Structure 1
Amino acid sequence: MVNKLTLVIKNIDKKVVREFKAEAIRRGLTLSKAFEEAARIWLEFKDKAIVSEQDLNNLVYESMEEELRKNRGKYAVIAKGKLLGIFETIEDVSLALRSANVRNAIVVKIGHDDVLVEGPEWLGGSIELGSA
């Protein structure tokens, strides 16, 4: 059985709460699920120093990788430590990057590098036949 808790938090910046709620809705999450996810990520990475925007983008991608799989074949853009959007075409990605004026970004075609193994996988190079 999972322990549930009712939580009241006082003195939080209203703008931050609005943005958090909006992001939860965009991801199809309830506010409580979004908070749990954010808390888990914060706890998981609390001891890891984030030294650059690139590191932050990588952490965001790692935390969202499972959720992004729902959009197979589309492009995900992560920059400035957040998901900028899911796009249908690379042209849409280009427009989003230009309008956001970013220096570092992760652009990934979702599902493109997934490996589907149908049968045995051969390791190594070629097989040579020689005389015995």
Structure 2
Amino acid sequence: MTLVIKKVNEEKLREFKAEAIRRGLTLSEALEQAIDLWLNKVKDNDEREANNKVFERMRAEIFSKYKDKYVVIAQGRFIGAYDKIESVQEVLKGLNVSHAIVFNPSKDIREEGEWLGGSLLP
């Protein structure tokens, strides 16, 4: 496919081409990689926003109903509440997610964390 792009910053384009050459890539290969990275970042941000909205909407319920459980929010929805972190690991292994909220309301809120691409996995 032939692609024509107008009004591209020439200095940025020169840097992009030079970096592609340094990495042993053709310009089209480098552009495809850049597009993939950008699309994945957009998807990650959308997923993160959706998860955060669910958490905020469910905040009161989470604190009252799931005090000693690990709550998992992923894919823009409540996945479940689990007694053990190992159960959370198994659930997250089965989901194709780039972002998930894992939260235990019985712990100090400053210990709240996120699972990012396998950080809970051995």
TM-score (norm 2): 0.50
Larger helix percent: 2
